[in-house]
Amino acid sequence: MKTSTLSSFVASLAVVAALGTTAAHAEKTKFEFWYGLSGDLGERVQDACKKFNASQPDYEIVCTSQNSYDATLQNTIAAYRAKKHPAIAQIYDAGTLDMMLSKAFVPAKQLMADNGYKIDWSNYFPGIANYYATAAGELNSFPFNSSTAVFYYNVSAFEKAGVTSKPETWEDVAEAAKKLKAAGYECPLAFNFDTWPLIEQFSAIHDQPIATEGNGYKGLNAELVVNKTKVVDELKFFKKMQDEKLFVVKTKTLGMDTVPSFTSQTCQMAMSSIADHGTVGKTLPEGVKWDVAMLPVFKGTERKKSLVGGASLWVMAGRPDAEYKGAAAFLNFIAQPDMVEWWSTVTGYIPVTKTGFESMKKNGFYDKAPYKGREVAIESLTLTEPTDTTRGIRLGNFTQIRKELSTALEAIYMQNGDVQQELDKAVERSNVGLRRFEKTFSGVSIN
């Protein structure tokens, strides 16, 4: 090889090497994701973030727990005002209307279209997607950790007490509780003051409104009406069962909440999220048979679909375009069937897309002992088409409304308060908050 040719070749290699070094050391686009989960579930979010970072060379998602849903909502709002907000925030169901009215987000459809992703939006289960969608059905945010309430029962205890079938109605539950009590079980059913299963889910599956205006979806002038529905009868039924020592209050402040009371076999029935399915399976002693069913309804009820719980992912406005490319890539990544199955496996949350669910069924996911029963949540959420009473709840100050109703439940079951009077007071206080919220956002469209 001639000297001049050699020199040219070496020079070319140097250029290629230099370009390779530059590409290898090119900085990834970093963007932040704030979430509210903590403990074991928080660690699984971190795992998802690590999987995304390892899957591609262009972006680095930085995931930070805010330790609770309430804190995530408040911190995100404060950070947005200070222009120090994340690209993605996990906001729970109660914060949906607050986020919508803030206009501080990039709609899901717009984000993905702007970044070249073709998404089949009809792939999301309507019973999940409608909670986070506009009146026209377009998603504002991405369903992420979705759940619904289910009924846990100890099959081994049922067998010892002579209970031969799973409870489908509250009359069935009462009969099972009596047999369990007679068999020596001191706490047949555990319950607490969580309004999500006891009031919100109960209302949906019994086709009862939580509030006027389609549970708030049709306007900010909605008023709470749970003091005028079958909720009153339900709470009176629970009071009767409590008086007979068949239903027992179990809360953290009393030393043991409902799920630990079930997994310790202190109590043999409980209502909780399907997201607790994994915890129950890991905690109950080996050999104890247990199962889950859809929440009971009162006899004669034409059951409707239950409500979705959990949270969705909102992409915040006011971030650089490069971050939106990363955010879109991450949201597309976690929506893939293999990631949907992984997420459901390690958490207990349900798949939010039809393809994800079908893939899991095809792979025999729900036939495996640790996961058998989780399909009940999908059945519950998709049982009927969404209606005004089952689509979801879109009320201002919803976090405070939950607190007011929880306070009423505590007064009823801990201080022997009158069911109707305590509900009336909670509704009156909640409606004052709703009118305040309506005035704050006067003239703002919620669709």
Total residues found in the chain within this entry = 447
pLDDT averaged over every residue in the chain: 91
Report the alpha-carbon distance of residue 349 to residue 273 in Å, rounded: 9
Q: Between β-strands 88-92 and 309-316, what pairing exists: parallel, antiparallel or unpaired? A: antiparallel
pLDDT at 19: 46
Q: Is the pLDDT of residue 190 over 90?
A: yes
Whether 300 maps to a domain, the answer reads yes
The residue from 316, 350, 367 where one domain ends is 367
> What is the average per-residue pLDDT within 27-45?
94
One domain for residues 110 and 86: yes
Confidence of residue 4 (pLDDT cuts 50, 70, 90): very low
Q: Is the pLDDT of residue 423 over 60?
A: yes
One domain for residues 292 and 331: no
* pLDDT, greater one: 194 or 18: 194
DSSP for 229-288?
SHHHHHHHHHHHHHHTTSEEE--GGGT--HHHHHHTTSEEEEEEEGGGHHHHHHHSPTT-
One domain for residues 293 and 414: yes
Q: Is the pLDDT of residue 158 over 90?
A: yes
DSSP for 370-419?
TTTTTHHHHHHHTSS---TTTS----TTHHHHHHHHHHHHHHHHHS---H
Report the alpha-carbon distance of residue 121 to residue 128 in Å, rounded: 12
Q: What are the pLDDT digits (tens) for 265-316?
A: 999 999 999 999 988 999 999 999 999 999 999 999 999 999 999 999 999 9
Q: Which of 17-21, 51-55, 161-165, 387-391 has the lowest mean pLDDT?
A: 17-21
Residue range of the domain that includes 128: 28-147+308-367
pLDDT at 416: 96
One domain for residues 276 and 418: yes
One domain for residues 404 and 297: yes
pLDDT at 283: 93
Q: What are the pLDDT digits (tens) for 332-380?
A: 999 998 998 899 888 889 898 898 899 899 989 999 988 999 999 999 9
One domain for residues 330 and 290: no
The residue from 367, 388, 411 where one domain ends is 367
pLDDT at 447: 67
> What is the average per-residue pLDDT within 118-142?
87
pLDDT at 26: 66
Can you tell me whether residue 305 is helix, strand or coil? coil
Whether 204 maps to a domain, the answer reads yes
Q: In this structure, what are the phi and psi dihedrals at residue 22, rounded to the nearest 5 degrees?
A: -60, -45
Q: Between β-strands 142-147 and 309-316, what pairing exists: parallel, antiparallel or unpaired? A: antiparallel
CATH number for the domain spanning 218: value is 3.40.190.10
Q: The dihedral of CA 396, 398, 399, 403: what is its sign?
A: positive
pLDDT at 40: 86
Report the alpha-carbon distance of residue 225 to residue 227 in Å, rounded: 5
Q: What are the pLDDT digits (tens) for 82-102?
A: 999 999 999 999 899 989 998
Confidence of residue 426 (pLDDT cuts 50, 70, 90): very high
Q: What is the pTM of this model?
A: 0.88
Q: Is the pLDDT of residue 13 over 80?
A: no
Q: Is the pLDDT of residue 136 over 80?
A: no
Report the alpha-carbon distance of residue 311 to residue 186 in Å, rounded: 36
